[in-house]
Amino acid sequence: EAQVTQNPRYLITVTGKKLTVTCSQNMNHEYMSWYRQDPGLGLRQIYYSMNVEVTDKGDVPEGYKVSRKEKRNFPLILESPSPNQTSLYFCASSPSGTWGNEQFFGPGTRLTVL
């Protein structure tokens, strides 16, 4: 089944404790991205990647890191999480970064930083 998977689905952590949220897609998509979703703000893009080893900042990159060493994986790293990073996170992939392409979303990761 073609899909985007994220792990973990739920995570409660404390301020300053480094964490990684994994994202993997099995559709051979070139484009992958991370979003955070907060009430009333819709989805805001954190980082995106046009292809392996190519990453760019989105709207809200502060406090996050990403890497794209393999085509299928795009982990999101929070080196020192803070309470304002409590949010619902979505990973998405697309055949390419060309505008108009459908984004396929993962199921989301609900992160709480205490």
* 13 Cβ contact partners less than 8 Å away, ≥ 6 residues apart: 19, 81, 111, 112, 113, 114
- Name the residue nearer to another protein (CB basis): 31 or 74: 31
The rounded radius of gyration (Å) of the Cα atoms in the chain is: 13
Contacts of another protein in 74-113 (CB under 8 A): 90, 92, 97-100, 102-103, 105-108
- Candidates 33, 55, 85, 87: give the one binding another protein (CB under 8 A): 33
Stretch that binds another protein, among 15-23, 45-53, 63-71, 79-87 (CB under 8 A): 45-53
- Candidates 1, 42, 62, 69: give the one binding another protein (CB under 8 A): 42
- Candidates 21, 24, 48, 85: give the one binding another protein (CB under 8 A): 48
* 61 Cβ contact partners less than 8 Å away, ≥ 6 residues apart: 46, 47
- Supply 33's token pair: 């991205």
Measure CA of the first residue to CA of the last residue in the chain; give whole Å.
36
The verdict on 44 binding another protein (CB under 8 A) reads: yes
* C-alpha closest to that of 109 among 28, 15, 34, 27: 34
- Candidates 53, 59, 70, 79: give the one binding another protein (CB under 8 A): 59
The verdict on 31 binding another protein (CB under 8 A) reads: yes
